[in-house]
């Protein structure tokens, strides 16, 4: 299954995200979601853990856009995936923005 279609109305290519994790060499990965995707956070984290065997930490802090990166989590993980938004903040080397368009 490439996306959690049963759990959310957004498109996520979990295979692509898993490949990015593997290529990064990360051992600990952070996931940050906007409010509309938080209900799928545990499903997404579980799928990525199965595919990569890394430790995943989910941010529970509010997220109101691409400029609202969880800086504390970013400093605690090897790579932080920020879902829902296009890259806005430059210079955050360990943050990967994952655009999540709505399913049509």
Q: What DSSP line would sit under 43-102, residue for residue?
A: HHHHHHHHHH--EEEE--S---STT---HHHHHHSSEEEEESS---STT-TTEEEE--PB
**Which CATH number among 3.40.50.11840, 3.40.50.300, 3.90.1150.10, 3.20.20.140 corresponds to the domain 14-98?**
3.40.50.11840
- The pLDDT value given to residue 67: 76
- The pLDDT value given to residue 10: 72
- The pLDDT value given to residue 91: 67
> Mean pLDDT for each consecutive 10-residue tract of the chain (104 residues)?
52 92 97 89 95 96 79 94 74 83 69
- The pLDDT value given to residue 88: 64
Say which residues have a Cβ less than 8 Å from residue 41's Cβ, sequence separation at least 6.
31, 33, 58
CA-nearest of 62, 31, 35 to 48 is: 31
List the chain domain ranges. Answer: 14-98
Tokens 């409010």 belong to residue: 35
């Amino acid at each position: 299954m490439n996306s959690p279609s049963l759990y959310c109305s957004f498109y996520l290519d979990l295979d692509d995200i898993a490949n990015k994790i593997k290529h990064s060499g990360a051992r600990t990965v952070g996931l940050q979601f906007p409010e509309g995707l938080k209900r799928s956070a545990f499903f997404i984290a579980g799928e990525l853990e199965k595919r990569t065997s890394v430790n995943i930490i989910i941010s529970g802090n509010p997220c109101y856009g691409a400029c609202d990166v969880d800086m504390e989590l970013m400093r605690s993980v090897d790579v932080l995936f920020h879902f829902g938004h296009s890259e806005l903040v430059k210079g955050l080397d360990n943050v990967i923005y994952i655009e999540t368009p709505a399913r049509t």
